[in-house]
């Protein structure tokens, strides 16, 4: 069996190559899966895609026409695949958890960087500037953090925040009966949080949940952390919130229009996205390029589970990690 990988990077090749055997071979394409590139899948039984590959109706139709039986996502989120349309036509599998610690820890890394200005200090001291002017931060201890989505990542994030002595409140539309977590309404969370961290999936329900209305309810100076999906935030409303100083800072690992720029070196290009350009120009906005998942442990788990998913599907016709809605 030969599996084409779309949007493959050096770190994908390194982590997957070890699973190459006489029965499974990989073909790594740098290009993303989209309408123009889907023809590369012709002749294969399965395809392996990532977060910014476009797997919409026309792409699914083309894959079915080529006889592709399986779409193996090497990630947890599946909002880039039209799952409803795929149902009954082609099987979609994913890696439901590879290292929730990686993402939760990255959210904390962004938050700490933001509140203690370590990114600015790093640049300063490299050029022998040891001034502290403008680097004053604030304690996380005793601050209230509002966590939206208390699944695998949200819960680990909560545990870490508790370690800092923060007060945690949470909202989850489908919360499990437990526990140790103080749940509240979304409105109360917006009103009472010093920091808001997003850990829910992107759905019709959560699309642009951070918008003009929700920002209006928030505390002045609130910090927003998003390691989940870019479209949870209306970026134009976020910018207005920052300009009016209602929002004190944004830590963004994801961005709604990231597909055109993230994961690539665009440093010689003129930025063709005014919203992103404004965000990047703001001193209290920290952007990373959807890298929260990027740890050695997570990459190893992604490779192992993806290969297991593919084998399970072709051996048994089913897969435990099939995406069903």
Contacting residues toward ligand NAI, per CB under 6 A: 76-77, 97, 100, 103, 148-154, 171-174, 199-203, 205-206, 227-229, 253-254, 290, 292-293
Q: Does residue 229 sit in helix, strand or coil?
A: coil
Residue with tokens 């895609």: 49
Residue with tokens 């016709």: 317
Active-site residue, selected from the candidate residues 229, 240, 257, 320: 229
Active-site residue, selected from the candidate residues 74, 94, 106, 290: 290
Q: Is 258 a catalytic residue?
A: yes
Question: And the tokens for 160?
Answer: 């870490």
Q: Is 290 a catalytic residue?
A: yes
Say if residue 242 is exposed, middle or buried (CB neighbours under 10 Å; 0-12, 13-18, 19+).
Answer: buried
Least Å from the CB of residue 134 to ligand NAI: 29
What letter would DSSP give residue 6? Answer: S
Nearest to 218 by CA among 255, 245, 198, 252: 245
Q: Are 284 and 242 in contact (CB under 8 A)?
A: yes
Q: Are 103 and 75 in contact (CB under 8 A)?
A: no
Active-site residue, selected from the candidate residues 116, 258, 312, 322: 258
Q: Does residue 179 sit in helix, strand or coil?
A: coil
Least Å from the CB of residue 218 to ligand NAI: 17
Q: Is 116 a catalytic residue?
A: no
Separation of alpha carbons 17 and 9, rounded Å = 12
Question: And the tokens for 117?
Answer: 């200005």
Residue with tokens 């590879």: 98
Catalytic residues: 229, 258, 290
């Amino acid at each position: 069996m030969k599996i084409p990988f779309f949007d493959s990077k050096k770190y994908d090749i390194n982590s997957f190559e070890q699973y190459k055997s006489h029965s499974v071979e990989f073909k790594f394409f740098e290009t993303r899966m989209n309408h123009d590139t889907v023809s590369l899948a012709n002749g294969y039984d399965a395809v392996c895609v990532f977060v910014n590959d476009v797997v919409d109706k026309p792409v699914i139709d083309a894959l079915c026409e080529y006889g592709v039986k399986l779409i193996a996502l090497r990630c947890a989120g599946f909002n880039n695949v039209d799952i409803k349309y795929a149902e009954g036509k082609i099987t979609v599998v994913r890696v439901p958890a590879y290292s929730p610690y990686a993402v939760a820890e990255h959210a904390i890394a962004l938050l700490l960087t933001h509140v203690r200005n370590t990114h600015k200090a790093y640049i300063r001291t490299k050029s022998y500037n040891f001034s502290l002017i403008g680097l004053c931060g604030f304690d996380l201890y005793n601050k209230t953090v509002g966590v939206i989505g208390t699944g695998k990542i949200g819960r680990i994030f909560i545990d870490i925040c508790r370690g800092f002595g923060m007060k945690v409140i949470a909202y989850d539309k489908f919360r499990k009966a437990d526990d140790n977590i103080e749940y509240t309404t979304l409105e109360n969370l917006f009103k009472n949080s010093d920091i808001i961290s997003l850990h829910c999936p992107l759905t019709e329900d959560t699309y642009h949940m951070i918008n003009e209305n929700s920002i209006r309810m928030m505390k002045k100076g609130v910090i927003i952390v998003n390691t989940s999906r870019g479209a949870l935030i209306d970026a134009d409303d976020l910018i207005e919130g920052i300009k009016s100083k209602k929002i004190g800072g944004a830590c963004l690992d994801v961005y709604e229009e990231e597909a055109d720029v993230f994961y690539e070196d665009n440093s010689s290009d003129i930025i063709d996205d005014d919203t992103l350009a404004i965000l990047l120009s703001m001193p209290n906005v920290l952007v990373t390029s959807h890298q929260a998942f990027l740890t050695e442990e997570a990459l190893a788990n992604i490779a192992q589970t993806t290969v297991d998913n593919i084998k399970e599907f072709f051996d048994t016709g089913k897969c435990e990690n099939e995406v069903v809605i």
